[in-house]
C-alpha cells in the first residue's frame, strides 16, 4: 500500500489505559496513529515508541479535550500532518465521583466537558474530511453507567449517556455518506481509572468473573473499524456480561 493510501486513526487519551491499547491495536492493523493526551509526556512518548516499533507512523499531540479551541487547533494540525482520517476514537475521559448532594458545579462541568463536550469538539473539525472521503468510522467511549446509572457518578453517567444519544443521532445523519458511528460501553476495565477499587469483590458480580483489560476494548475498536462494515448507531457492551 502506498503511503498516501495509508489509513489514519486518531485516538484521544491514548497515552495510557484503554486509549493506548486501542492505538496499539489499530497500529497492528496498519493504521498510522495520532495519539492525543493531556499532560503525561512520559506515557505518551512510550506509546509513540511502541507504535513506531510496529512499523507505522505515529505522532503525539498534547492538549485539553475539554477546550473547544484547543481541539479545533489540534484537529487541524493532525489533518495537515496525516492528510486524511479514517477512524476517530473519542476516548479521553475522567471521573470526579461524589454523591450528588455534595457535587459542585466544578466537578459536574469538568466531567461533562471532558467526557461529552470533547466528542463534539473533536468530531466537528474532522467531519468534513470524512464526508469528503465518503468514508469514516467514529467510536465514542461510553460506559455501562451511561446505560444503567450509578450512585456517586451522576456527572459521569450523564456524560456517558449523552454520548449514547450523540452516537445514535450522528449515525442517522452520516449513514448516507458511509460514515459509521458507534459507541462502546465498557464495564470495569483494569486501568488507572479503576485503581483502588476492590477488584476481587467486583469480579464476583461479573458473569465472566474478571475485570476487563484495555485489550478487550481495543479488540472491539479494531473490529468496529475493520470488520463491522454494516454496523452503525450501536452501543456495544464490553463488560463481561454485567449488562444484559
Ligand atoms: P485512564 O487510564 O485514566 O486514561 C485517561 C486518558 O485520557 C489518558 O490518556 C489521559 O491523558 C487522557 N485525558 C484525561 N483527561 C484529558 C483531557 N482533559 N484532555 C486530553 N486528554 C485527557 O482512563 P481509561 O480507564 O483508559 O478510560 C478511557 C475511557 O474509557 C474514558 O472515557 C473512560 O470514561 C472510559 N471507560 C473506562 C472504564 C474503566 O473501567 N477504566 C469503564 C468504562 C468507560 P494523560 O495520560 O496525559 O493524563
Q: Which atom of ligand 1 is nearest to the CA of 95?
A: 34
Whether 156 sits among the annotated catalytic residues: the reply is yes
Radius of gyration of the chain measured on its C-alpha atoms: 17
Task: Report the alpha-carbon angle 7-11-16, nearest 5.
Answer: 135
pLDDT at residue 5 in the model: 74
pLDDT at residue 1 in the model: 42
pLDDT at residue 4 in the model: 56
Q: How far is the centre of ligand 1, averaged over its atoms, from the C-alpha of 196 (Å)?
A: 16
| φ and ψ at residue 59, rounded to 5 degrees | -145, 145
Q: How far apart are CA 55 and CA 34, in angstroms?
A: 14
Q: How far is the centre of ligand 1, averaged over its atoms, from the C-alpha of 193 (Å)?
A: 7
Q: How far apart are CA 79 and CA 59, in angstroms?
A: 12
Q: How far apart are CA 105 and CA 110, in angstroms?
A: 8
Q: How far is the centre of ligand 1, averaged over its atoms, from the C-alpha of 123 (Å)?
A: 17
118 lines ligand 1 (CB under 6 A): no
pTM: 0.98
Q: Which atom of ligand 1 is nearest to the CA of 214?
A: 26
Q: Is 178 helix (H, G, I), strand (E, B) or coil?
A: coil
pLDDT at residue 3 in the model: 54
Supply the residue whose CA is at minimum distance from atom 38 of ligand 1.
189
Residue whose grid cell is 485539553: 64
- Using CB atoms within 10 Å of the CB of residue 204, give its burial: 0 to 12 exposed, 13 to 18 middle, 19+ buried: exposed
Would the CA dihedral through 126, 83, 115, 158 be positive or negative?
Answer: positive
**Consecutive 10-residue runs of the chain (244 residues): their mean pLDDT?**
75 98 98 98 98 98 99 98 98 98 98 99 98 98 98 98 99 98 98 94 97 98 98 98 96
Q: Is 135 helix (H, G, I), strand (E, B) or coil?
A: coil
143 lines ligand 1 (CB under 6 A): yes
Q: Which atom of ligand 1 is nearest to the CA of 186?
A: 43
What is the distance of C-alpha 171 from the center of its chain? Answer: 16
Q: How far is the centre of ligand 1, averaged over its atoms, from the C-alpha of 18 (Å)?
A: 7
Contact 122, 72 (CB under 8 A): no
Q: How many CB atoms are closer than 10 A to CB 230?
A: 6
Amino acid at each position: 500500500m502506498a503511503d498516501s493510501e495509508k489509513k489514519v486513526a486518531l485516538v484521544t487519551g491514548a497515552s495510557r489505559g484503554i486509549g493506548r491499547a486501542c492505538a496499539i491495536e489499530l497500529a497492528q492493523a496498519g493504521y498510522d496513529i495520532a495519539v492525543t493526551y493531556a499532560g503525561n509526556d512520559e506515557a505518551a512518548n512510550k506509546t509513540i515508541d511502541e507504535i513506531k516499533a510496529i512499523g507505522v507512523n505515529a505522532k503525539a499531540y498534547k492538549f485539553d479535550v475539554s477546550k473547544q479551541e484547543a481541539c479545533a487547533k489540534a484537529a487541524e494540525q493532525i489533518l495537515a500532518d496525516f492528510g486524511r482520517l479514517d477512524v476517530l476514537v473519542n476516548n479521553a475521559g475522567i471521573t470526579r465521583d461524589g454523591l450528588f448532594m455534595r457535587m459542585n458545579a466544578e466537578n459536574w462541568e469538568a466531567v461533562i466537558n471532558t467526557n461529552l463536550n470533547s466528542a463534539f469538539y473533536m468530531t466537528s473539525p474532522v467531519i468534513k474530511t470524512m464526508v469528503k472521503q465518503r468514508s469514516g468510522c467514529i467510536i465514542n467511549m461510553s460506559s455501562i453507567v451511561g446505560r444503567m446509572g450509578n450512585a456517586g457518578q451522576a456527572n459521569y453517567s450523564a456524560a456517558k449517556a449523552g454520548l449514547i444519544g450523540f452516537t445514535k443521532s450522528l449515525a442517522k445523519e452520516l449513514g448516507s455518506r458511509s460514515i459509521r458511528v458507534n459507541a462502546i460501553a465498557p464495564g470495569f476495565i483494569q486501568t488507572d481509572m479503576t485503581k483502588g477499587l476492590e477488584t476481587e469483590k467486583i469480579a464476583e458480580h461479573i458473569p465472566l468473573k474478571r475485570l476487563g483489560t484495555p485489550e478487550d476494548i481495543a479488540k472491539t475498536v479494531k473490529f468496529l473499524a475493520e470488520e463491522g462494515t454494516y454496523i452503525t448507531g450501536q452501543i456495544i457492551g464490553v463488560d463481561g456480561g454485567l449488562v444484559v
